[in-house]
Amino acid sequence: MPEEEVQEQEQPKKKKKLPITLVIVLAVSVIEGAGFYAASKMFGGGAQVAHGAEAEEGHVMEGEEAQDSPASVEVPVVERFRVPNADGGRQYIYDFDLAITVPSYREDEIKKVVEERKAEICDRLGQLIRRAKRAQLTEPDLKTLRMQMKHALGEIAGDQEAIKEILIPRWVPIRGD
């Protein structure tokens, strides 16, 4: 027996090798990671320049006008305007006021258009409300409806840029049933 023990002690213990599959998966993962990193550096484009970053706070860049500057004025369009809508099976009557903001240098021109084409404006606004889906009429900020009204009023005024913003200070849905 002593001879057997000596032979066992002389034989070096075999080291466990990593399975070849694991080695291949690790190598492929490292190569893919390096490839993605290189591609993002090459095609990423880096940081973008923020135009106007050098401008002092409160100043407006050349060719632009501040949104809340006194250079824009409010022009009332309709007051206590009522339009029915029966989308969704129930009839509602929407009672609202509408005003627009325009550049101050175009105030007289827009007021004249609003006075001269009052019936056309009321007709177009009525069409928009009657055609609107329930979801559009119940949006918290009425964003879709404002966008449609701005487009329609811009067509009537003859210039989409003439109207900066649509203001709806009063919006009251009244059940018509």
Tell me: the pLDDT tens digits for 32-80? 999 999 988 888 766 666 666 565 655 555 555 555 455 899 999 999 9
Domain count, the chain: 1
**Token pair 């990593």: residue:** 18
In one-letter notation, the amino acid at residue 102 is: V
pTM, to two decimals: 0.59
Can you give the CATH number for the domain in which 82 is found? 3.30.479
Residue 139 domain boundaries: 72-175
Give domain status of residue 124, yes or no.
Answer: yes
Give domain status of residue 48, yes or no.
Answer: no
Give domain status of residue 52, yes or no.
Answer: no
Give domain status of residue 25, yes or no.
Answer: no
CA distance linking residue 69 with residue 61, whole number of Å: 13
Give domain status of residue 121, yes or no.
Answer: yes
CA distance linking residue 78 with residue 115, whole number of Å: 10
